[in-house]
Structure 1
Amino acid sequence: MTGSPLLSTRDVHITFPGRHGAPDARAVDGVDLDIRPGEIVALVGESGCGKTTLARALLGLVEPTTGRVTFDGQPLRYSGRSLKAYRRRVQLVLQDPSGSLNPRHTVYDAVAEGLRIHGHRGDERAVVADALSRAGLRPPERFFLRYPHELSGGQRQRVVIAGALVLEPELLVADEPVASLDASVRGEILALLLRLRDELGLSALVVTHDLGLAWNIADRVAVMYLGRIVETGAVEQVLTAPRHPYTRALLSVLPEASGEPVVLTGEPPDPARIPSGCRFHARCQVLASGEAERAGVAQACRTTDPGVPDGTGTPQVACHWAHATEGEGTPKG
């Protein structure tokens, strides 16, 4: 993908106040990320790594503590009128279609809701029918008067996607879009998202803990750990030749992975007490095995921040060991 990014973040930090005098939690701790027109980016990491908080910031639901979000070259403004206009162009697809659909609303009303909120003028019925058809519910009129409980999980997710499409957005933010679906349906929904990208030129940020999903849908992947992106690049590069030990550990537990799975020690640190040096060093299998010591970077791993990838889409990794063994420079600090 070339050209200017559609959406961009620069040095975004999001902190939440600690309770009872505890330190602030640094949920997002300096993130640069670009999404270009027609590009699908997968944001990958364990639960609690900050990826959903970052996604909420991109939707304007959370205002960054510091840093900036820009869309189509303009800074995101958090006034009510500006956000309303922005949300015509950027739409959310949630993980659980049952939770995001009102059980008392018909499919027609669920899809038409966005049009009514934004004061659509025109043939509402035709627009709703077109959105349902694009989402794979055909003939659309057959679904107008159905309720969510009358649909399968895959059909409910298609209704949610139709509700996003009805406003003709340029970017979808999909938070675990197939996590609640049966395996047999997941491929259909992923194929639908790819088809919508090809037909409509949509961009998408897909938030997931599943690297297998990233492989199947994304052009580029950004791996997040404890509030920061630690590795980014084209999906084929990152998932076939991972450079960061954390990415290697995530990949090692996939069913199709060769070799022994990497079992990380302990839990991710508290985001209110981020360790010095590389934030992954306390769980790092490369440091624990002595490989970092042999590469001469063990002390740096424990004491020196490896910096953050700059978000431009070029392959980058925030890891002293990777840079020492590959002979590259580090990301920006």
Structure 2
Amino acid sequence: MTGPQLEAHGVNVEFITRGGQVARALDGVDLRVGAGEIVALVGESGSGKTTVARTMLGLERPASGRIVFDGEPLSYSTRALRRLRRRVQMVLQDPAGALNPRQTVYESVAEGLRLHGIVAKDPERRTEAELVAAAMSSAGLRPPEALFLRYPHELSGGQRQRVLIAGALALGPELLVADEPVSSLDASIRGEILALLLRLREELGLGVLVVTHDLGLAWNIADRIAVMYLGRIVEAGPTEEVLQAPQHPYTQALLSVVPEMEELRPVVLTGEIPDPTRIPGGCRFHPRCPALQDGTAAAEGVDDRCREQPLEILPDDTVGHHVACHLARLRNSTGPRTSPESRSLA
């Protein structure tokens, strides 16, 4: 993997509720994404995925831990964040809400160019219109000039998503963070946008962190997958290994409802993700774990550990397959490796 990497090391993010309680939105997250690779961050709503994306872009400041970009800890000065956002761009989830309905397509794509003064710094001395047209073409909006004066309400959902991507590409970033980039699109358009992200990786060497609840999407696009639950990554590894041999019961449950997985019996999880102000002891998934509920964990002799013994933070290894689960650790001869900085859940 060459080029810059965006990394999270032991990141904790906390919010204070109206009642004065501390909600741990992220609780020891290790994750990295580099130029030229696609990493999928997967989990239910409320698992902390979007908070990870916002924190890695400097939009949220961690209570502890650090974000590192291109080998340097992230600085939160205005100038440093402007430099970061020139090189790392975010593609938001809802194009209808993200695009200003009063701005034309041209103005939406050109906005970032103007904010960062890209035209004045362009070594090829291209005009603003040329840079906008090039970004739109890269995003699959062709011919771009025919769309310059259109407004968001005149575009299809897929076209609006491409306008958001074009606005990010106009700055010439090295990494994209895409938050649920196809969740609001029809199935046929979803495939087109995913193919576009793969093409951008091949042609421009872009790295992409894709935030999604859909393991099927991750299977089609990602090189690596990190599965998140209640503020912490519980399973991570190369896509083929994680999805062909999922070890965490939570990953197995998410995978069982992917339409393509006809041979798997759907696993219906009971209850909701717990309140982040009251994270369960032991394995944080244990109140909803099918292996505990059906007696499997008890038969293997790990049920007490599941309820009481904390699990280590998974390392941000770009090669290995790791899982934070007492039952999986028992079944694996070696168990998951942990980083030197691994910490137990308080």
TM range (shorter): over 0.9
Give the 5 Å matches for 1:143-292.
143-257=147-261, 258-292=263-297
Q: 2:309 aligns with which of 304, 309, 323?
A: 304
- Report whether the alignment pairs 1:318 with 2:324: yes
Distance 1:167 1:4, change over 3 A: closer
Instruction: Tell me the alpha carbon deviations over residues 227-275 of structure 1, each in whole angstroms, 9 at most, x when there is no partner.
Output: 0000000111111110000000001111222232111111111100001
The equivalent of 1:6 in structure 2 is 5
**Amino-acid identity (%):** 64
> In structure 2, what is the Cα distance between the partners aligned to 1:259 and 1:231?
19
Give the match for residue 26 of structure 1.
24
Instruction: Assess, with a 3 A threshold, how the Cα gap between structure 1 residues 267 and 224 changes in structure 2: closer, same or farther.
Output: same
How far did 1:306 drift?
Answer: 1.6
Equivalent in 44, 48, 70 of residue 50 of structure 1: 48
| Cα offset, 1:18, TM superposition | 2.7
Unaligned 5+ runs, structure 2: none
Task: Give the Cα separation in 1 of the matches to 2:310 and 2:4.
Answer: 27
SS at match of 1:141: helix
Aligned partner letter, 1:6: Q
Alpha-carbon RMSD: 1.2
Distance 1:144 1:267 in 2: 45
Amino acid at match of 2:335: G
Q: Deviations over 1:43-81 (max 9, x none)?
A: 000000011011100111101111000000011111111
Tell me, yes or no, if the aligned pair for 1:103 and 1:148 is still in contact at 8 Å.
yes
Task: Supply the AA of the counterpart residue of 1:12.
Answer: V
The size of the alignment, in residue pairs, is 331
2:328/2:335 contact within 8 Å kept: no
Letter of the aligned partner of 1:110 in structure 2? S
**Kept after mapping to 2: 8 A contact 1:49/1:224:** yes
Cα distance, 1:152–1:25 mapped onto 2, change above 3 Å: same
Q: For each residue in 1:105-164, what CA deviation from the matched residue of structure 2 results, as whole angstroms up to 9, or x when unmatched?
A: 111111000010011214111111100000111111111111111111111111110000
* TM superposition score normalised by structure 1: 0.97
Between 1:144-153 and 1:189-198, the stretch displaced more is 144-153
Q: Which amino acid aligns with 1:286?
A: A
Structure 2 length normalisation: TM-score? Answer: 0.93
Consecutive unaligned residues in structure 1, runs of 5 or more: none
Structure 1 residues 184 and 113, CA gap change in structure 2 (3 angstroms): same
Kept in 2, the 8 Å contact 1:295–1:325? The answer is no
Q: Could you tell me how far apart the structure 2 residues matched to 1:282 and 1:311 are?
A: 26
- State the AA in 2 paired with 1:84: R
